Amino acid sequence: MSTAKHPLLPLVQELRVCPTRDTSLTEQSLRDAWDRFKGNGWDMGRQPPFSVLAALVIHDEVAATLLTTEELGQLIALGELALNRYRERTQPLNHLGKLLVATIKENP
């Protein structure tokens, strides 16, 4: 493929090695993290890890009473922020790609 025929080829090659292209967080890596989380266990007679409590506070109404309404709202907001960032990283909006396609269509 020559760059004369495909003038955007060098740009595509640069984008492929772009350091902002982070693929470390995937649905599978998150599932693996969940399995490790569940596998760590919580033995009877021991205090629960704070990560278990945080999850239970979000999930369970009785556990949620450990926090004030404001604190619970902050924890939920952080959870929603993490979810949004997960979505952005695993299903990013490809603004640059859309711009390139539009430019190519306008200037064949």
Distance from C-alpha of 53 to C-alpha of 55, rounded to nearest angstrom:
5
- Specify whether the CB–CB gap between 75 and 54 falls below 8 A: yes
Task: Answer with the residue of higher pLDDT: 68 or 16.
Answer: 68
**More confident call, 43 vs 100:** 43
Query: Mean pLDDT across the stretch 91-101?
Result: 72
User: Which pLDDT score is estimated for 21?
Assistant: 54
| pLDDT, position 7 | 74
Give the pLDDT confidence of 24-83 residue by residue, as tens digits. 788 898 899 989 888 877 888 899 888 889 999 999 999 999 999 999 999 999 999 999
Distance between terminal CA atoms of the chain? 17
Q: Where are the domains of the chain?
A: 48-108
- Tokens standing for residue 51: 């990560």
76 vs 3, 7, 14, 69, 83, CA distance in Å? Answer: 50, 47, 38, 10, 10
